[in-house]
Amino acid sequence: MLRTEQLTLHIAGRTLCDRLDAGFNAGENWVILGANGSGKTTLLHALAGLRQPDHGRVMLDHVPLRDMPSRRRARRLGVLFQDFESAFPATVMETVLTGRHPRLQRWQWESTEDYSAAEAALEAVGLAGFAQRPLATLSGGERRRVEIAALLAQDAPLCLLDEPTNHLDLHHQVRILEWLATRAARPGHMNIFVLHDINLAARFGTHGILLFDHGECLHGPMPDVLTRPNLERLYHCRLREIHADGARWYLPD
């Protein structure tokens, strides 16, 4: 579905990834891992077509992302950002409905179909019944789930999520990642996550991209890339690997 060709990204004279060739296919859950400032968000934005690469290109459905009309791109690919703004009052429903924008014509108003998509999205993130609440009355975690619901209402087959578990309690972290991972199993769907939690990455990711310093970049199926030596090099700290319940768990030593 999504492919990078010789993708090279620089920021402030530093190379974040150097000539990356990677293919992202339907049914897969990719996780981008790396230390703070390693360029996870920049890479995600480049994959979303929101940042022009310094070299190489990103292809979506065999079309260069740069040449794709932005509305068409937005119907194929949705993005969850790390931070959000709220200078003016809005209700939960109004915010979630903005996700329907790429599917509406210029003068068209939201139909009952759009409202049911928004309600289903709120249900999926555990916010059924919150539709008419002003955003200002929500907690940080609830606010985060509204952003995720807006992304789900967009109904794009390809979702790029920048730290979706920020502000979420344990229950919702697992519940929402599980929901998204199941969604990727539907035909033609896939996700790319930026995550900080190695254990969530191991549990829900099928593939991983590890961003090391100096533009070195390792990608492949999760069991191949998510190893203790790789992770210790990635985060510059010693890790303990624990085997339990048939899975590997990592804890800082």
Partner 1 sequence: MNRRLLIALFLLAAAPLSLWYALSQGSVNIGAAELWRALLGHRDDATAYLVIHELRLPRALSAFAVGGMLALSGALLQVLLRNPLADPYVLGVSGGAAVAVLLSMLAGLGAGWLHVNAFAGALLSMFIVFGLSRAGAAWTQNRLLLTGVVVAAGWGAVISLILTVTPASRIHGMLFWLIGDLSTATQPAAGMIILLTGLAAAWWLARPLNLLMRGENIAAALGENPARLRSVVYLLASLLTATAVTLAGSIGFVGLVIPHILRLAGGSDHRFLLPASVLLGGGFLTVADTLARSWAAPAQLPVGVLTALLGVPVFLFLLVRAR
Residues that bind partner 1 (CB under 8 A): 48, 50, 70-75, 78-79, 81, 84-85, 87-91, 94-95, 98-99, 101-102, 104, 106, 109, 154
Smallest distance, partner 1 to C-beta of residue 169, A: 24
Smallest distance, partner 1 to C-beta of residue 103, A: 10
Smallest distance, partner 1 to C-beta of residue 246, A: 38
Smallest distance, partner 1 to C-beta of residue 155, A: 12
Nearer to partner 1, 89 or 252 (CB): 89
Nearer to partner 1, 89 or 246 (CB): 89
Mention every residue, 6+ apart, whose C-beta is less than 8 A from residue 78: 99, 151, 154, 156, 158, 159, 160
Separation of alpha carbons 219 and 160, rounded Å: 17
Question: What is the dihedral sign for C-alpha 90, 96, 102, 105?
Answer: negative
Nearer to partner 1, 31 or 79 (CB): 79
Nearer to partner 1, 101 or 183 (CB): 101
Nearer to partner 1, 106 or 214 (CB): 106
Quick one: tokens of 250? 């990592």
Look-up: residue for tokens 């070195």? 216
Separation of alpha carbons 134 and 46, rounded Å: 33
Q: Is 162 exposed, middle or buried, given 0-12, 13-18 or 19+ CB atoms closer than 10 A?
A: buried
Nearer to partner 1, 84 or 111 (CB): 84
C-alpha pair distances (Å), 155 with each of 23, 40, 86, 180, 224: 22, 24, 23, 12, 31
Smallest distance, partner 1 to C-beta of residue 145, A: 15
C-alpha pair distances (Å), 181 with each of 17, 77, 190, 240: 26, 16, 8, 27
Smallest distance, partner 1 to C-beta of residue 247, A: 34
Q: What phi, psi does 234 have (nearest 5°)?
A: -65, -45
